[in-house]
């Protein structure tokens, strides 16, 4: 029995499942059909994990049915048993699929609300997946999240050592770690440009 709650659980998305849709289209009279919506998941995972997986699938079907079906069936070798609702996958495959489904849901929320999903807290992510109404994070918090993301990326950069020789023949060694520092390297006084400009100085003065 499904009772009312504060959560907007998308059980109506079950009608978007091909197996259920085919049953409805082919039905010639009222009949009762029983399905275990968890298939055989409870043999290897807890009921909490099974429920979380089910909500991820249903929410994704509600957001983008076509993309969700493609995620659930990554290749033609994946089959669905006659007595099952969902494709037969290993636990490792389900873990990868659950991550993809979560990303799909969050990307849809971010697009609709103009929100940087990286700024969402774990509690907000959970509430979005469960269908609870939440206020979008403030712009300031999104900017902080973006700065923190850049800082994490910056910490993973590899140091680059550059060796150059100046006009006096002295060798200089410079180590750079920032991404923008690695795009181009110039000395403080670019002596080559200055030397070329100096030789053409008398030509430039003629045009003054």
pLDDT reported for residue 149: 75
pLDDT reported for residue 105: 93
Give one DSSP letter per residue of 17-69, joined into a string: SHHHHHHHHH-SS-------TTTTGGGTS-HHHHHHHHHHHHHHHHH-HHHHH
Place of tokens 């849901």: 105
Instruction: Kindly list the domain boundaries of the chain, sorted by start residue.
Output: 11-155, 160-205
pLDDT for residue 94 is more than 60: yes
CATH number of 11-155: 1.20.80.40
pLDDT reported for residue 1: 45
CA distance 167 to 178: 27
pLDDT reported for residue 187: 54
Q: Greater confidence, 88 or 192?
A: 88
Q: Which two tokens stand for residue 113?
A: 């609300």
Q: Which two tokens stand for residue 146?
A: 């973006």
CA distance 99 to 169: 56
Which pLDDT tens digit goes with each residue over 16-52?
A: 888 888 888 888 888 888 888 899 999 999 999 999 9
Give one DSSP letter per residue of 83-111, joined into a string: T-SS----HHHHHHHHHHHHHHHHHHHHH
Which pLDDT tens digit goes with each residue over 127-178?
A: 888 877 777 766 666 666 677 777 677 666 566 777 777 777 777 777 666 5
């Amino acid at each position: 029995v499904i009772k009312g709650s504060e959560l907007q659980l998308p059980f109506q998305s079950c009608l978007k499942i091909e197996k259920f849709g085919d049953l409805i289209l082919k039905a010639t009279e009222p009949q009762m059909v029983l399905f275990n919506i968890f298939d055989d998941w409870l043999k290897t995972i807890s009921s909490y994990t099974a429920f979380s997986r089910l909500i991820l699938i249903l929410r994704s079907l509600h957001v983008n049915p076509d993309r969700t079906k493609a995620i659930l069936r990554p290749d033609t070798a994946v089959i669905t048993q006659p007595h099952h609702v969902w494709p037969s996958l290993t636990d490792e495959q389900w873990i990868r699929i659950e991550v993809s489904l979560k990303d799909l849901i969050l990307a849809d929320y971010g697009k609709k609300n103009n929100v940087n999903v990286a700024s969402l807290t774990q509690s907000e992510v959970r509430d979005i997946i469960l269908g609870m109404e939440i206020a979008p994070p403030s712009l300031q918090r999104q900017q902080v999240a973006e700065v923190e993301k850049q800082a994490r990326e910056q910490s993973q950069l590899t140091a680059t050592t550059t060796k150059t020789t100046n006009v006096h023949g002295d060798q200089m060694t410079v180590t750079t770690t920032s991404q923008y520092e690695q795009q181009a390297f110039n000395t403080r006084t670019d002596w080559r440009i200055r030397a070329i400009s100096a030789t053409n100085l008398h030509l430039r003065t003629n045009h003054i």
